[in-house]
Structure 1
Amino acid sequence: MKRSLVLLLSSYGCFLSGQEKGIDTIYVFDSQMNKVKLFHKVNTLTLEDAEKNSTNLSELLRFQSPVYIKENGRGAVSSPSFRGTTAQQTAFVWNGISINSNFLGQGDVNNIPLFGYDQLDIKAGGGSVIYGSGAIGGSIHLNNNLDFNKGFHASLFSEAASFGTFNNFIKGSYSNDKLSIKASGNYSISENDYEVKEARNYINQNGKYFNTTFNIAGAYKIAPHHQISWISEFFNGNQNYPVLFESETKTKYETQNIRSLLSWDWNQSKFSNSFKAAYTEENFQYFANINGPGTSGGIGKNYIVKNDFNYFLSPKWNVNVIGEFQVNKAEGKGTSQISKVSRNVGSVAGLLRYFVASDLRFEAGLKKDFVEGISSPVLFSFSGKWNAATWYSTELNISRNFRFPSFNDLYWQPGGNKDLKPETSYQADLSNHFMVSDFKITVTPYYMNIRDLISWQQTQFGYYAPSNTHKVESYGLESQVEYARKFGKQSLKSSIGYTYSKSINLENKKQLMYVPLHKIFGNVDYQYDFMRIYVQGMFNGLTYTDTEEKRSDALDPYFVMNAGVSGTFLKKYTVGFKVNNIFNEIYYTMASYPLPKRNYSVNLNINF
């Protein structure tokens, strides 16, 4: 029984003392993610995965996840879609803290840095009980950790690519038995002036972008069971918006984001408590003329406190209580049509976990949000995992999730609607995992019913206004086959995923905009001694760009393949070469904005 308790605690990422000291060598800022992985399939992408698609986060998610990315030209405004839902129904979570915009209620993928994280976790399905508003279709987790007793390490990644593109990322860390510190910086710039002559002689005019990111983190063990940790991220981005005609006025968008988190963690053998205080800030400016002053913009600020208490009643029973309080503030600048606003948001969630045996476990959760001025529903979740045999396991997840209206939904003038109700959804999925030799096969059918969807429609007065318009029914299938094997100096890893997404507006029985029915993505990675070769491909099915399934305006299916080769010398130096879009495919993820044809990059990675 005692051994079972130790194993469960180590699964949760808790820090143990005494003879179990070896377990506490890593501190994870989002400790809930370790619990989530006990009941849900989560795809994890590492820094090495990011280097394969180093242009931006949009490219990484497009080629290595089931998420559909709608990008207004390479490096421009970009939004995600899980399981046929909207960008507002995808939660971006930074080290356990939601970072969706106060104004839009979503995250711009290309204004979230690609580098600076230790791993990206991608979770499909609802998660509002733990991660709050917006976690309806799925969530993307940007996670950092800190190692202890690892000494000094540093690395440099530098890349030069087509279209005047340069990426540079440097990081360093030091740790002993009590102190751990880590810092990193990233600078990316691109003229981004690619051409696609087959698409009406398209030239990505005014497509330049650049951004910088700086991250710093530290942790100190003030006592055997107490630790103070801190992490901050500073991002500065500049995007020129592409124009379709030379006669158009060129515009641009600038943003500056700050995220800072302080955590006090208390860990014992039977309980753990994590208290966090966080501050996030988004600043943005829009320039109606690239050579003129900023014409509009805004600033959003969030003050957050969160407490996560976890207690083992017995080796089989575990209770988890999460309380959170936020103050959300926003203010428009210049000609921005939103005034200075503020609201308080609180929540209390309780989760009960029961471990029948090592092969069977359950989790049930309840949550109540208290959003100023908005009536919020009671949320629930139920999860179960059963390892039925050495070759088969299954996971069942049922939940009610929600998204409360953003500040633009409520207060934009003219059009803001203070009477909006939150979007709510009921969802269920059943994951089936098969182990056959060196193969892992996952098949997950899912169903989702979304009510009170918030959409902006033109009024009789000519302007647009939001309302709770209709219901959406989404169902489909997610599947993935993974293979990994090592033999001598050789290793081979491969995966292929397929998603089928049917997302229907129940009023007109039509597929939602920018929701492809089919997506296939795959990666093959082969290494022999110091040489490494990888190939990745993505097929995207027919995608409608309007609400009436008009075939003439739809995006045609496409298949894109990339490949790369690298060699490691003296165990410290790695030189790589990549070819993107090998077959010169003409493809769009957003109407009117084709993405680049064949292009190249070379990179150097140095480990100190």
Structure 2
Amino acid sequence: MFKNLPFFSALFLLFSFPISAQEKIIDTVFIFDNQIGNAKKIQKISTLKEEDLLKNSTNLSEVLRFQSPVYIKENGRGMVSAPSFRGTTAQQTAFVWNGINVNSQFLGQGDINNLNLLGYDHLEIKSGGGSVIYGSSAIGGTIHLNNELSFNRGLKNSVFFEYGSFETYNTFVKSSFSNEKLSVKLTANYSESENNYEVPEKNYLNQNGQYHNENFNLGIGYKIDEQNTVFWQSQLYGGNQHYPIFSEFSTKTKYLSNNFRSLVSWNFKGEKIQNILRLAYLEEEFGYFQNIDLPKSSGGMGKNYIAKNDLNYSLNEKFNFNIITEYQLNKAEGFLSGIQNISRNAGSVAALLRWNPAEKWYFEAGTKKEFVEKIEAPFLFSFSGKIQFADWYALTFNTSRNFRYPTFNDLYWKPGGNLDLKPEISHQAELGNRFQYKNFKLNITPYYIRIENMIRWLPTSSGIWSPINTEKVESYGLESQLDFEKSFGKNHATLSAGYVFTHSKDLETDRFLMYVPKHKFFANASYRYDFSEIFVQGMYNGMTFTTSDESVLAALKPYFVANAGLNLTFFKHYQFGFKVNNIFDQIYETTAFYPLPKRNYSANLLINF
């Protein structure tokens, strides 16, 4: 669509600014998702900053696989990729872009490898339900794609170049300027790969696996006065994925996607009242080519208009009242799918009461009513809290009712769409135990989720596939994570290690769900001395069923994969990095029949000025 355009446009703009700029004291940093700060008080949320993302800069799948409790099901490197929180599915995971749910109106999920990685300032991963705040699909967890704008920081620029195995190129540029009134930030990213890796032991060559994508972000903020600030954040993305084939005689296929997102926000901050009004426009376009030499065989265009208001009133130091109202107009038109010029009105009203009776006590109660055209929308609730029993121990709890309503494909696809579908409903509870001793933090969270009316596409007596409400799913388990960080002199050391146990079953068949490993372990450690840094990563997944009959023969075998890297900083502004992925040459799959690469390498250069 616009190959190379964002990268070179941003590169031109970046170098059109003066290179030298005087450093200023940081004034304020604005994060578009204002609700995530409250969630951190009562739920474990992992925050990944730019330096974390660059340790797995190939794609978002790699970041989540090695640095989060999420299981990633990927059809080969850089291909279709879906997350699984706590034994749930990709449709039960909400992707939140700057506070706005951006799951596809057609599929009800986000393809991780079509959500550009390096276009965000940081990611946040939140396990557990959150539909009161983030709406449909926030059942298993939410993945937050956040941009931020700073004021009074002057001019800052950075450029990143990376080359890796399988002819992989990855670049981004970032430039920002801000004074007391104005903040402007633009970023651009371009990635491509021939992706022609081989796994001889599996007799596998990743043929027709090439991909490329480009992404452009522009953010602007302006302070009208001390109480009023307006912001605009926009994103333009284009992706091209060729799907792997198993034989040179197979027909080659590909998938194109183009997304545009624009968000305008007016923030008012008074002594007792804070209000954020958001207006957003989201556009998704995709096309599937069953033969890359022929016109597309299916596709669609979706448009989503959103108005959302977040009013917060502080009654006093102990009580805080929050009302969130939202209206959406969803429009879509399919291509060779039977979906023609459909639209849906949806709205919601949520109320939250936050109570802080004492320094070591915090409680939050929320309710929400959804109004979705032609769908019987549920009443939602949440109740959470935190009690600090001692300096070294705090107890958190969270219970909620969450949902996912049917997608346009579920309702209108021809043949097979079902207009009588009900929303999926889930009830969940978790109990967080937070321990802290000196530089160590340990979080242990047992959880329970029950999902009813799960939507499944099944064959009918007439021979076509159609979605129906069938499954009742029960999932319980444990998430735990240990964090350590210490600085002394020119030394800085960090460690983050997590273990996840998941027991997820279909209650009607009493069988485990597919692609939900019982055990996952992940760890990241780094040590920096002066200008040099080394880091290592490890990730273990236990046996994973790939069929509904719990076939051990068809299951994915357990595997452990490790990466290691070295970063060297020169003259304060230049950082050279080298990384070895899959050090031990492990043969492994996250989706049956699609092995991921064996040992491979990458080198990068980061320039900040």
TM-score higher than 0.5: yes
Give, in whole Å, the separation in 2 of the partners of 1:196 and 1:369. 49
Residue type at the aligned position of 2:302: G
Give, in whole Å, the separation in 1 of the partners of 2:464 and 2:198. 35
Residue type at the aligned position of 2:287: Q
Residue 262 of structure 1 corresponds to which residue in structure 2? 264
* Aligned with 2:172 (options 131, 154, 169): 169
Moved more, 385-394 or 160-169: 385-394
After superposition, where does 1:333-344 map in structure 2 within 5 Å? 333=335, 335-344=336-345
Residue 281 of structure 1 corresponds to which residue in structure 2? 283
Give, in whole Å, the separation in 1 of the partners of 2:450 and 2:288. 36
After superposition, where does 1:151-550 map in structure 2 within 5 Å? 151-199=154-202, 201-333=203-335, 335-550=336-551
SS class of match (2:120) = coil
Give, in whole Å, the separation in 2 of the partners of 1:407 and 1:153. 43
SS class of match (1:326) = strand
Give, in whole Å, the separation in 2 of the partners of 1:313 and 1:439. 36
Alpha-carbon contact 2:27-2:152 (below 8 Å) kept: no
Alpha-carbon contact 2:453-2:471 (below 8 Å) kept: yes
Instruction: Please give the per-residue CA displacement for 1:498-549, whole angstroms capped at 9, x wherever unaligned.
Output: 0001001001111101000000000001001100000000000000001111
Alpha-carbon contact 2:27-2:153 (below 8 Å) kept: no
Residue 113 of structure 1 corresponds to which residue in structure 2? 116
SS class of match (1:552) = coil
Give, in whole Å, the separation in 2 of the partners of 1:156 and 1:387. 44
Give, in whole Å, the separation in 2 of the partners of 1:512 and 1:460. 25
SS class of match (1:83) = coil
Give, in whole Å, the separation in 2 of the partners of 1:99 and 1:324. 14
After superposition, where does 1:550-565 map in structure 2 within 5 Å? 550-565=551-566
- Structure 1 stretches lacking a partner, 5+ long: 1-21
Instruction: Please give the per-residue CA displacement for 1:337-368, whole angstroms capped at 9, x wherever unaligned.
Output: 42321100000000000001121010000000
Give, in whole Å, the separation in 2 of the partners of 1:553 and 1:337. 35
SS class of match (2:224) = strand
Residue 17 of structure 2 corresponds to which residue in structure 1? none
* Aligned with 2:42 (options 21, 39, 42): 39
Q: Does 1:25 align with 2:17?
A: no
Residue 80 of structure 2 corresponds to which residue in structure 1? 77
- Cα drift, residue 71 of structure 1: 0.4
SS class of match (2:162) = strand
Residue 49 of structure 1 corresponds to which residue in structure 2? 52
SS class of match (1:198) = helix
Instruction: Please give the per-residue CA displacement for 1:142-164, whole angstroms capped at 9, x wherever unaligned.
Output: 01111011000000111000000
- Cα drift, residue 387 of structure 1: 1.3
Give, in whole Å, the separation in 2 of the partners of 1:471 and 1:220. 49
- Cα drift, residue 589 of structure 1: 0.3
SS class of match (1:551) = coil
Instruction: Please give the per-residue CA displacement for 1:554-588, whole angstroms capped at 9, x wherever unaligned.
Output: 00000000000010000000001000000000000
Give, in whole Å, the separation in 1 of the partners of 2:208 and 2:482. 41
Residue 577 of structure 1 corresponds to which residue in structure 2? 578
- Cα drift, residue 458 of structure 1: 1.2
SS class of match (1:553) = coil
- Structure 2 stretches lacking a partner, 5+ long: 1-24
Give, in whole Å, the separation in 2 of the partners of 1:553 and 1:338. 36
Instruction: Please give the per-residue CA displacement for 1:246-292, whole angstroms capped at 9, x wherever unaligned.
Output: 11100101010000000011001211000000000000111111122
Moved more, 323-332 or 479-488: 479-488
- Cα drift, residue 491 of structure 1: 1.0
Residue 589 of structure 2 corresponds to which residue in structure 1? 588
- Cα drift, residue 38 of structure 1: 2.2
Instruction: Please give the per-residue CA displacement for 1:434-478, whole angstroms capped at 9, x wherever unaligned.
Output: 112321111000001100010111112222111001200000000
CA RMSD of aligned residues (A): 0.9
SS class of match (1:592) = coil
Instruction: Please give the per-residue CA displacement for 1:72-110, whole angstroms capped at 9, x wherever unaligned.
Output: 000111101000001000000000001100000000001
Give, in whole Å, the separation in 1 of the partners of 2:391 and 2:35. 27
Instruction: Please give the per-residue CA displacement for 1:311-345, whole angstroms capped at 9, x wherever unaligned.
Output: 10111000000000000011112x23423211000
Give, in whole Å, the separation in 2 of the partners of 1:585 and 1:338. 44
* Alpha-carbon spacing, 1:187–1:222, altered in 2? closer, same or farther (3 Å): same
Give, in whole Å, the separation in 1 of the partners of 2:517 and 2:289. 33
After superposition, where does 1:55-70 map in structure 2 within 5 Å? 55-70=58-73
Residue 126 of structure 1 corresponds to which residue in structure 2? 129
Residue type at the aligned position of 1:356: P
Give, in whole Å, the separation in 1 of the partners of 2:417 and 2:278. 33
Residue type at the aligned position of 2:459: Q
Moved more, 223-232 or 316-325: 223-232
Give, in whole Å, the separation in 1 of the partners of 2:26 and 2:154. 17
Q: How many positions carry a matched residue from both structures?
A: 585
Give, in whole Å, the separation in 2 of the partners of 1:462 and 1:43. 45
Alpha-carbon contact 2:288-2:299 (below 8 Å) kept: yes
- The runs of at least 4 consecutive aligned structure 1 residues that moved more than 2 Å come to 335-340
- Cα drift, residue 293 of structure 1: 1.7
Give, in whole Å, the separation in 2 of the partners of 1:184 and 1:444. 37
Give, in whole Å, the separation in 1 of the partners of 2:421 and 2:111. 23
Residue type at the aligned position of 1:359: K
SS class of match (2:38) = helix
Residue type at the aligned position of 1:256: N
Give, in whole Å, the separation in 1 of the partners of 2:334 and 2:513. 31
